[in-house]
Amino acid sequence: MNISPESLFSALAHSTRLRCLLLLLEHRELCVCEFTHAIGAPQPNISRHLAQLRETELVRDRREGLWIHYRINPDLPKWVTNVLKQTAKGVSQTAPFADDLAALAAMPNRPGARCA
């Protein structure tokens, strides 16, 4: 896999995409409903940004029945993974990133149950 710096930083430039990626760094895999709950954005908005992340190959998805689950692409080059980890480390205690993690932790009926 070969991602260009321009593609990476273009993907990180939008708040919703960055927030999704940073949530995925903390959680192995998330369903779209978990992103919508944590970030507080409508499902079509979240799905559009996740599709863009998938197109740039930053994330992978899998379907489970009606639900789509996302995870960080395990084949990312090391430099990309390092950028994401350093970004997460640097902003983990600031809004909205800390708020996203808290909202997700407080989400009732998280999958394994059912997504809404």
φ/ψ of residue 31, rounded to 5: -85, 155
pLDDT of residue 110: 83
Distance set, CA 73 to CA 28, 30, 57 (Å): 11, 13, 7
pLDDT tens, residue by residue, 7-24:
999 999 999 999 999 999
Distance set, CA 103 to CA 10, 30, 111 (Å): 26, 13, 15
The tokens for 108 are 């009732």
pLDDT at 67 over 90: no
> Structural domains in the chain?
5-105 (1.10.10.10)
Q: Considering the chain, what percentage of its residues have pLDDT values greater than 90?
A: 87
Q: Considering the chain, what percentage of its residues have pLDDT values greater than 70?
A: 96
| Helix ranges, the chain (H) | 5-12, 15-26, 32-39, 43-55, 78-91, 97-105
What average pLDDT does this structure show over 82-102? 96
pLDDT tens, residue by residue, 39-55:
999 999 999 999 999 99
Query: Residue 35: pLDDT band by 50, 70, 90 thresholds?
Result: very high
pLDDT at 116 over 50: no
pLDDT of residue 112: 58
